[in-house]
Amino acid sequence: MEGDAFIPYGRQQIDDDDIDAVVEVLRSDWLTTGPKVAEFEEAVSDFAGARHGVAVSSGTAGLHAAMAALDLEPGDEVIVPTMTFAATANAVVFQGATPVFADVDSGALLVDPNGIASLITDRTRAVIAVDYAGQPADYTELRAITAEHGLALVSDACHSIGATLAGRSVGSLADLTVFSFHPVKHITTGEGGMVMTDDRALADRMRRFRNHGISTDHHQRAEVGTWFYEMVELGYNYRLTDIQSALGLSQLQKLPRWLDRRNQIAGMYRERLADIRGIAPLEMRPDRSHAYHLYVVRVAAKAGKTRDTVFAALRSAGVGANVHYIPVHIHPYYEREFSTAKGSIPVAEQAYEEILSLPMHHGLEDSDVDRVVHELVRALGS
């Protein structure tokens, strides 16, 4: 490590004003489900251009709530790109439905709209797009397909808060959009997530779902007495706390600045990597802005150097490279329970052999970027 500090691939930033915001809630009357949750929901949905925000305890809980709101039944199918974190597909399974894995395009690793039509059956209920690395998927093309077949369009936007497509914010591009506030994501609440929608009924459904399936109809309560509540369907405890919401509100104020910094860092990588043979950054699609949760390059195997040897060399030089992701359909659970197999989804499987996530977070210094590139060149050898 030559005495240099380890550079993680992602990292949260907590400032004094974040800490003050949390302490203020700790001294107040409400620790959970008080005024800060509603305030945070309104702030994020305003930011993302959606009518409703439903705060939940994680991005995974948000995906689960979204699937529940769509009323999936056993046997129903949901199309999911295989190049994603397992939670995207798991949420479908939580509701007893079946994920059907789609391939991605090789340039940007976004779900390929051209491959989707052939996966649609009379059991298909929804398509989940993943804004891989922070770049919005092709929602215009996806919307044309889902509209034609009467399917819901869901966005796993755990990488892409603050990104835009054709000038429209992620959060307004799908029927349901899910954000994560895990510490490696753009803003954090420790653990946390939120679902965006313009549909009042879907929002109400998810509010019930995160609270044991208990009806929160105030009129009903007023009629019978304040003790009255009814559990109208099966739900979970997926609530976000006021403590977490205060942290999220404080973090959200800094998000535009942090997105700018992430784009600056991406620009430096692009420039410095342009002439390095064997390294190819992912493609930027036209007409959209990128939130850069990840900075992913492809490493072409040659002369004994592979993604794995480059990864190992970076790690031993104190550079926290990573791999996002093992395609979901080749995880042992899916192979066993859903009979998926290697060899069936070629573009994602090939990409998986070559992808490498370089450190990307708003706290990186310019000198960190230089060091990452220096070590990358060294790892590739000559």
Residues with catalytic roles: 185
Of 58, 160, 189, 197, the one binding ligand PLP (CB under 6 A) is: 58
Do residues 342 and 330 lie in contact, with contact meaning Cβ atoms separated by under 8 Å? yes
Question: Cβ closer to ligand PLP: 195 or 203?
Answer: 195
Of 164, 180, 250, 340, the one binding ligand PLP (CB under 6 A) is: 180
175 binds ligand PLP per the rule CB under 6 A: no
Question: Minimum Å distance from CB 246 to ligand PLP?
Answer: 18
Closest C-alpha to 104, from 88, 123, 122, 121:
88
In 3-state terms the chain splits into helix, strand, coil percentages (rounded to 5) of: 40, 20, 40
309 DSSP β-pair partners:
none
Do residues 98 and 338 lie in contact, with contact meaning Cβ atoms separated by under 8 Å? yes
88 binds ligand PLP per the rule CB under 6 A: yes
Name the DSSP class of 219: H
CA distance 184 to 195: 18
Of the listed pieces 94-102, 114-122, 151-159, 333-341, which binds ligand PLP according to CB under 6 A?
Answer: 151-159
Residue 382 tokens read as 């000559």
32 DSSP β-pair partners:
241
Of 193, 235, 327, 359, the one binding ligand PLP (CB under 6 A) is: 193
| Distances, alpha carbon 256 to alpha carbons 133, 260, 267, 380, in Å | 17, 6, 17, 35
87 binds ligand PLP per the rule CB under 6 A: yes
Question: Minimum Å distance from CB 1 to ligand PLP?
Answer: 28
How many helices and strands in the chain, by DSSP H and E?
14, 13
CA distance 146 to 36: 36
Name the DSSP class of 161: T
Segment 117-146, which members bind ligand PLP (CB under 6 A)? 130
The pattern of x and - marking residues 257 through 276 that bind ligand PLP according to CB under 6 A reads --------------------
Question: Minimum Å distance from CB 119 to ligand PLP?
Answer: 20
Question: Minimum Å distance from CB 187 to ligand PLP?
Answer: 12
Of 156, 242, 368, 375, the one binding ligand PLP (CB under 6 A) is: 156
Name the residue whose CB lies closest to ligand PLP: 59
- Give the three-state DSSP class for 183: coil
288 binds ligand PLP per the rule CB under 6 A: no
331 binds ligand PLP per the rule CB under 6 A: no
24 DSSP β-pair partners:
none
Question: Minimum Å distance from CB 129 to ligand PLP?
Answer: 11
154 DSSP β-pair partners:
128, 176
158 binds ligand PLP per the rule CB under 6 A: yes
Task: Note the residues at the interface with ligand PLP (CB under 6 A).
Answer: 58-60, 84-85, 87-88, 130, 156, 158-159, 180, 182, 193
